[in-house]
Amino acid sequence: MDAVRKDIHNSNVPQVCKSCEARHGGVCGALTTEQLVELSKYTTRKSIGAGGELHGQGEQVHAYANILKGVVKLTKMMPDGRQQIVGLQFAPDFTGRPFSSESSLSAEAATDTEVCAIPKPALDRMVNRSPDLERRLYNQALLELDQARDWMLTLGRKTAREKVASFLYLIATHIDPEKSEVLQFELPLTRQDIGDFLGLTIETVSRQMTKLRQEKVIHVENNRSVTIHDLDRLAEVAGIDG
Amino acid sequence: MDAVRKDIHNSNVPQVCKSCEARHGGVCGALTTEQLVELSKYTTRKSIGAGGELHGQGEQVHAYANILKGVVKLTKMMPDGRQQIVGLQFAPDFTGRPFSSESSLSAEAATDTEVCAIPKPALDRMVNRSPDLERRLYNQALLELDQARDWMLTLGRKTAREKVASFLYLIATHIDPEKSEVLQFELPLTRQDIGDFLGLTIETVSRQMTKLRQEKVIHVENNRSVTIHDLDRLAEVAGIDG
DNA sequence: CGATGTCTTGAAGCAGTTCAACCAGGGTGG
DNA sequence: CCACCCTGGTTGAACTGCTTCAAGACATCG
């Protein structure tokens, strides 16, 4: 465990950051205690209700944010209203785009969400002083690139059945689960959102869910609560190589 | 024009680098003359015939490469053989993935291609010494991420007609054109590749091309040579906001 | 308890796939 | 030099998986 990492557990670290960093290691993990204290002067914790917008397509980005809780969807829209979700972000992902101030996508909360908002200038300054931080941001970008490309395969080449299974698999492996043999979670997206993520209509999503339920690949309660008894089985249905 | 940029035109710069950098500004543009000389000790120029592999899916990446000429396709394959092209790279793009040594995709030359191959250790060392270089790589990753997400919208929500038009638009705006009112270029991809890029079959691609030809949106000769008289019209058909 | 939004189910239609035949260009070898 | 084939592309006809349109079920909330 290196020096930076040790700092994180130091008692001088701001309280907000502790609970945030306690997780899988967000971008702030690259900062020293000093830098963290400095940065936390400008950060504000915000709650955003489901459907709330972090920022709209084509708008200036005024702030970055670390997601503390909830799921954020990144969407693109065509002039005629057709919509595609191009990414999902989970805690403790970092959202926002360094260097380019305009974004071609909109970010909104899919569920009730809490974020740690960081004003653009504050983080930009910090990035220029901390190569470690930039490295982490770079790595997050590479990770998102991988995810985007994985999803391109799903969108371009999978059947509706495989798409829905792929979605469920994605959620199952990203929403932090109570570590148990049986995975159980609430779907963070409506059927409409799922459709927009998979390039399908809500009806098709619904029908495929029903089929997967009938075949006991998944178990559904209240339309939102999903239980998965056999993740490998789901992966297989999703067409993910095993 | 800053110091670094001036260095590039300095006569101490290796000959290979000059012709490379003469273009839109590849990643090497971040390096000083000294660094460029150092790096060029390890680089080798390579020709790769159409269909040749830069590296396979799941293999270790032994080298990075700057594309000097030609088009490289990044593909993903499912266990059963279904394939999706998840990115196209044009000169002077940089290809290869820093930090992670394994790649989940395969890269092959779509056309006859020339690259400047850089052994992994040499570039990794350079990255750690030059923040500017890392910044450029980061920016390239962000650019690729944008492109990937744009394409997700195309894959998920566009019709076959719009997809084919989108593809033609992409090529028209990325293959460096003779600057003239009328765009004319050779398609760098076979119908099969185009299908794999658009999530369509070759037959559908062919049919849509025929239609676009009949409607005079494009003009085609020898199946590969395309002329576009009205790029805005094409963009419109592609469903790209104007 | 009606009202409203979300989800499911059914039936009909259609965009894109599948299967199959055909065509054009470019070697290759007799 | 022509017959041959082989690869890449086009075209046609039948099929099908997903969409569209429409109705009904379910849950939540004033």
Quickly state the pLDDT bin for A17 (edges 50, 70, 90).
Answer: confident
Contact B125, B118 (CB under 8 A): no
Q: pLDDT tens-digit profile of B44-71?
A: 999 999 999 887 666 666 778 999 999 9
Determine whether the interchain pair A76/B100 forms a contact, defined as Cβ–Cβ distance below 8 Å: no
pLDDT for residue B10 is more than 70: no
Q: How confident is the model at residue A28, as a pLDDT?
A: 82
User: Token pair of B223, please?
Assistant: 């199946």
pLDDT of the residue at A3: 47
Q: Which residue has the tokens 């495929």?
A: A208
What per-residue confidence (pLDDT) applies to B54?
A: 86
Residue type, position B75, single letter: T
Per-residue pLDDT band for B3 (boundaries 50, 70, 90) equals very low
Q: In what order do the strands lie in the sheet with B63-69?
A: B44-48, B113-119, B63-69, B94-95
Average pLDDT, integer, range A42-61 = 82
Q: Residue B209: which nucleotide is closest by CA–C1'?
A: D10
pLDDT at A177: 62
- How many contiguous H segments (helices) and E segments (strands) does chain A have? 9, 11
Q: Which residues contact A112 (CB under 8 A, 6 or more apart)?
A: A47, A48, A49, A50, A69, A70
In this prediction, residue A134 carries a pLDDT of 92
When pLDDT is cut at 50, 70 and 90, the band that residue B92 belongs to is: confident
Q: Where are the alpha helices (DSSP H) in A65-130?
A: 120-129
pLDDT at A201: 98
Nearest to B138 among A105, A138, A150 (CB): A138
Cis before B14? omega within 30: no
Higher pLDDT, A118 or B1: A118
C9 C1': nearest CA residue: A207
Strand C bases near protein CB (under 7 Å) are 6-11, 15-20, 25
Taking the model in full, what pTM does it have?
0.92
Among all strands, which nt has the closest C1' to A206 (CA)? C8
Q: How far apart are CA A127 and CA A69, in angstroms?
A: 24
**Listed range (A63-67, A101-105, A115-119, B7-11) with the worst mean pLDDT:** B7-11
pLDDT class of B173 with cuts at 50, 70, 90: very high
d(CA B75, CA B53): 11
Q: Protein footprint on strand D: which nucleotides are under 7 Å from a CB?
A: 8-13, 17-22, 27-28
Dump pLDDT digits (tens) for B180-204. 678 999 999 999 999 999 999 999 9
Which of these, A154, A149, A152, A147, lies nearest to A173 by C-alpha position? A147
More confident residue, B177 or B233: B233
Q: Residues of A with CB below 8 A from B158's CB?
A: 82
Angstrom distance, A71 CA to D18 C1': 28
pLDDT score of B101 more than 70 = no
CA→C1' distance for A200 and C4 (Å): 25
Residue range A178-208, pLDDT digits in tens? 666 788 999 999 999 999 999 999 999 999 9
Protein residues closer than 7 Å by CB to strand D: A 159-161, 199-201, 203-204, 207, 222-223; B 190-192, 202-203, 205-207, 209-210, 220, 223-224
Instruction: Tell me what percent of the residues of chain A surpass a pLDDT of 90.
Output: 59
Distance B160 CA to C14 C1' (A): 13
Sign, Cα dihedral of B148, B139, A94, A110: negative
**Residue B241 to residue A78, Cβ atoms within 8 A:** yes
Query: Which has more pLDDT, B73 or A25?
Result: B73
pLDDT, tens only, B108-154: 999 999 999 999 899 999 999 889 899 999 999 999 999 999 999 99
Point out the least confidently predicted range of A11-20, A54-63, A81-90, B109-118.
A54-63
Write the DSSP symbol of residue B224.
Answer: T
Q: How far is the CA of B143 from the C1' of D1 (A)?
A: 55
Mean pLDDT of B68-81: 94
pLDDT higher than threshold 50 for residue B235: yes
Please give the mean pLDDT across all residues of chain A.
Answer: 87
Q: Does pLDDT of A168 surpass 60?
A: yes
Q: Say which DSSP state A129 is in.
A: H
Q: Is the pLDDT of residue B7 over 50?
A: no
Rounded to a whole number, what is the distance in Å from the CA of A137 to chain B's nearest CA? 8
Q: Does the structure show a pLDDT above 50 at A18?
A: yes
pLDDT(A89) > 60: yes
Of A82, A134, A157, the CB nearest to B82: A157
Query: Which is higher by pLDDT, B149 or B17?
Result: B149
Give me the pLDDT at residue B35, please: 87
Identify the pLDDT of residue A214: 96
Q: How far apart are CA A111 and CA A113, in angstroms?
A: 6
The beta-carbon contacts of A187-190 under 8 Å, at least 24 apart in sequence, are A187/A224, A187/A225, A187/A226, A188/A70, A188/A71, A188/A88, A188/A110, A188/A111, A189/A71, A189/A73, A189/A110
**Cross-chain Cβ contact B156/A153 below 8 Å:** no
Per-residue confidence band for B1, with pLDDT thresholds at 50, 70 and 90? very low
